[in-house]
A and B are shown apart, each in its own frame.
Chain A
Amino acid sequence: GENVEQHPSTLSVQEGDSAVIKCTYSDSASNYFPWYKQELGKRPQLIIDIRSNVGEKKDQRIAVTLNKTAKHFSLHITETQPEDSAVYFCAASSKGSYIPTFGRGTSLIVHP
């Protein structure tokens, strides 16, 4: 089955800095990679996703890059703000199963 590794487990940045979270996956058939943000005590919410036919996708301060050859994908947050503080999860799913396998999460702390 699919295995998703996520790093770092904790990331502490100053407001205005950039933050990068990296994930690797094991199943070369995976073709859909969503990112979720989970604030303390709240539900995971989809913030951005990317499909395997695209190398990069941007949405305002958030971007995701995908390297299919190396089987890794990354979340980039620019100009971080305190409200970006949350746990971020990456996930991967394949055309066959469509069930996402999640990483263990990264706790992002943005200091004002």
Chain B
Amino acid sequence: GAVVSQHPSRVICKSGTSVKIECRSLDFQATTMFWYRQFPKQSLMLMATSNEGSKATYEQGVEKDKFLINHASLTLSTLTVTSAHPEDSSFYICSAALAGSYNEQFFGPGTRLTVL
């Protein structure tokens, strides 16, 4: 089956620094990738939809200047949390989809971000 990886799996950083999270589709080309955030005991919240070669579409309430998304290739999307603060601490999950077919989204294992 299709595999999506994320790197790093967990990261701890100081307040004010920027953190980059990578999402890769390992064995298929993903024209669309999605980024989610999940707080403890809560459901996944869609942050943005990322299409290869174009600007990401952000959900209402998500700051595009704070959460920078780059989908430069068909196998890689990156999420950069700029000037991270403790309230940005969360579990970030990406998923990838293959366009043009009836297909489920393939989710990555997630990245645990802790901002001190």
Q: Do A and B come from one complex?
A: no
